[in-house]
Each structure stands twice: as C-alpha cells, then as structure tokens.
C-alpha cells in the first residue's frame, strides 16, 4: 500500500512516516515546511521508501502530484494554535479550507481511505472530566480549535455525501523527540528542558494545577497507524491519549528530576487568562476499535526526550534566545 502524510515533515507526522515505512509500505510526504523540518525526514528518505512533494495543501497542483497512486491519506498538515491567534483568517484557510481541498483531491484520485488528524482543542472548556468522543459537546475556545472542528465536519460529510471511507482522530498533547522547541511553536516540555539545562527555573503560569493528557509521540503515531489500517474506525471519531492527567507542576518536577537539578525550584507567575485548564481523554473507544494502548509512561517519555535533547543540542545555551513566545494578542 502507498500512504500520503500531509504535514509529514512535522513533529507527529515524521514519526508517523517512520512507522509506515517500518510496517513495510511506501509513503509520500506533502509539506511546505512552514513548521516542519526536512531533518525530521532524513532517516525515512534514506530508506528509499519515501517520496517528498514540497508544496502546499492549498495548491491543487501540489495535491494532485502527491495523490497519484495513493491508497490512504493521513491528513496532519496544520497551522498551530499560537499562530492562529495572530492570524485567524490564515488559520482558517489552512486548517479548514486546506482540509476541504485535500479531501476533494483524495476523492478525485479515488483514494480508499482518509484519516483526519484533529485535536483535543476541539473540546475547549466543555468539561472538567474525561472527554468522550460521543458524549462531550465540543465547545472550542480558540479559532484553532474551531477550524479543526470544521475540518472534522468536512471529513464526516465526505463519508455521508460521497461514500469515502473517512475517520477522525483526536490526539491529546503528544511529546517527545522532534517536538517544536523554539520560537512561537515551542511547547511546554521543550521550553522547560531548555530552562533547566541552562540552570534556570521553569516558569509555571498560575499554581500549576492545570494539566494535559501527555502522550509519547511514538504512541500517538501508533494510534494513527492503527486508524489507517482498521476497518472498524470508518465513520468514527476516536481520542488518542493515555487517559490520565499530568499537571504542569508535575511536568516541571519530572524534568527537574530527569535533569538531576533538585537545586532548582519552579517559578510561578500570574495565570494567563483564556487558557484551557485541563484536558484528559476517555480512551475506551480507541482500545475497542483500534486495540490502542499507549506503551511509554510519562516519566520514561521525559527521560527519553531529555536524553535525545542533550545529544541533539550540545550547547543548550544557544536556545535561550529563541525561548520566547513571540506573539501578542491582536488589537
């Protein structure tokens, strides 16, 4: 089989590409590298089983080039949540219109299956408990979450309207090697690691009780792979998570432990208004439909990431200057 991964040069996408090749299949990657990195694909390219189309999901010619001979599309290309705050219209073009264009290209090329990689952000502040795919009402609080929900609706509509085999997967906070660690895209775990390896305190907004369902990236890739090849998931929406909450305070404490810096304490600052407090997945459906069971616990995942990070960046001090979220709320 031949697979297409849009956004395959990104954090999750590149791990998914690795998994597809490891399973013995060929893969096409469509990516404009606005946020992904070609270096993420070096190992995959070396196998001879990956073809790269450097282009955009908003370009019909690029989509047609990438779709040729493809059996399954895994659509991961996305504009991230923090960029969406400063450019909501651009965010909609990529996440909503881009998804529609990718679906239509897949339909015209008679692709067998389309897996849409959504986000836990679609839930918003809709619940204080574990979030159910079929019971929790989605109430996104960000334009990013809203645009991802629109993509879900288009994906479901293509099943009902055209009979295309489609499904929606909602990953919860993947982390691990290749995670964005600089500038506006940088996530909390890389930012904390950069601080600690430079002898500085991780900065925690509020009391640190807010949390996420952190899931190691190879587990997330495993769930996406299972979705691509499982007939049970067609027409379904499935969470991909561990099913347990890790607070930001616990994240900081685990990173301090893994880095051997018990001499550093977390630095607490004022809570940011508008932040979603906590997101945790109900995971029974992923288990039932996909046999999905995460294997890497949080402490092991942090250990793996810290070791990878230290090998990748011999001098973490060079990253301090980039360790800033350089966006502001638009006027």
Give the span between the Cα atoms of 286 and 241, in whole angstroms.
9
Model pLDDT for residues 108-135, shown as the tens digit of each residue: 999 999 999 999 999 998 766 899 999 9
Q: The domain that contains 306 carries what CATH number? A: 3.90.25.10
Model pLDDT for residues 228-257, shown as the tens digit of each residue: 999 999 999 999 999 999 999 999 999 999
Active site residue 144: yes
Q: Would you say 75 and 9 are in contact if contact means Cβ atoms under 8 Å apart?
A: no
CA 60 to chain centre: 24
Both 107 and 140 in one domain: the answer is yes
Integer CA distances (angstroms), 323 to 185, 211, 261, 269, 320, in order: 10, 21, 19, 17, 5
Q: Percent of the chain scored above 90 by pLDDT? A: 87
Both 121 and 205 in one domain: the answer is no
- pLDDT given at position 321: 61
Please report the beta strands in 256-321, taking only residues with DSSP state E, as ranges in sequence order.
Answer: 267-269
Please give the residue range of the domain that contains residue 141.
2-173+214-240
* Catalytic residue (choose from 116, 123, 144, 154): 144
Average pLDDT, the chain: 94
Whether 159 is in a domain gets the answer: yes
Whether 262 is in a domain gets the answer: yes
- pLDDT given at position 328: 37
Please report the beta strands in 219-265, taking only residues with DSSP state E, as ranges in sequence order.
Answer: 237-240, 246-247
Average pLDDT over residues 282-292: 98
Both 138 and 269 in one domain: the answer is no
Give the span between the Cα atoms of 30 and 65, in whole angstroms.
9
N- to C-terminal Cα separation, the chain = 49
Q: Would you say 91 and 47 are in contact if contact means Cβ atoms under 8 Å apart?
A: no
Average pLDDT over residues 192-211: 96
Average pLDDT over residues 256-260: 98
pLDDT band at 198 (very low <50, low <70, confident <90, very high): very high
Both 27 and 169 in one domain: the answer is yes
User: Which tops the pLDDT comparison, 222 or 278?
Assistant: 222
- φ and ψ of 321, to 5 deg: -65, -30
pLDDT band at 182 (very low <50, low <70, confident <90, very high): confident
pTM as predicted? 0.95
The yes-or-no verdict on residue 148 having pLDDT over 90 is yes
Helices 143-162, 98-108: axis angle to 10 degrees equals 20
Both 75 and 192 in one domain: the answer is no
Beta partners for 52? Answer: 29
Q: The domain that contains 223 carries what CATH number? A: 3.40.50.720
Average pLDDT over residues 153-168: 99
């Amino acid at each position: 089989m031949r697979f297409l991964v849009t956004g395959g040069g990104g954090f999750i996408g590149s791990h998914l590409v690795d998994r597809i090749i490891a399973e013995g299949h060929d893969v096409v990657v469509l990516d404009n590298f606005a946020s992904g990195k070609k270096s993420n694909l070096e190992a995959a390219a070396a196998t001879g089983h990956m073809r790269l189309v450097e282009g955009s999901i908003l370009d019909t010619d690029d989509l047609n080039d990438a779709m040729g001979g493809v059996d399954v599309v895994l659509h991961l290309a996305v504009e991230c949540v923090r960029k969406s705050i400063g450019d909501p219209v651009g965010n909609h073009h990529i996440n909503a219109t881009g998804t529609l264009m990718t679906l239509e290209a897949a339909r015209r090329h008679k692709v067998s299956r389309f897996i849409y990689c959504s986000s836990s952000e679609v839930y918003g502040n809709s619940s204080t408990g574990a979030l159910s795919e079929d019971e929790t009402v989605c109430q996104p609080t960000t334009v990013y979450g809203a645009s991802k929900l629109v993509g879900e609706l288009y994906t479901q509509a293509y099943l009902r309207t055209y009979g295309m085999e489609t499904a929606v997967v909602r990953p919860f906070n993947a982390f691990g090697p290749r995670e964005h660690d600089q500038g506006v895209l940088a996530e909390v775990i890389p930012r904390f690691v950069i601080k600690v390896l430079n002898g500085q305190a991780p900065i925690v907004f509020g009391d640190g009780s807010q949390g996420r369902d952190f899931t190691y990236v190879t587990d997330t890739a495993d769930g996406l792979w299972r979705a691509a090849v499982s007939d049970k998931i067609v027409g379904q929406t499935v969470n991909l998570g561990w099913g347990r909450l890790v607070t930001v305070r616990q994240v900081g404490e685990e990173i301090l432990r893994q880095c051997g810096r018990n001499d550093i304490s977390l630095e607490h600052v004022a809570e940011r208004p508008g932040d979603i407090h906590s997101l945790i997945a109900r995971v029974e459906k992923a288990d039932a439909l996909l046999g999905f069971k995460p294997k890497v616990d949080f402490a092991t995942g942090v250990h793996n990431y810290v070791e990878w990070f230290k090998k990748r960046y011999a001098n973490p001090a060079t990253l301090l200057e980039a360790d800033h979220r350089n966006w502001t709320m638009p006027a």
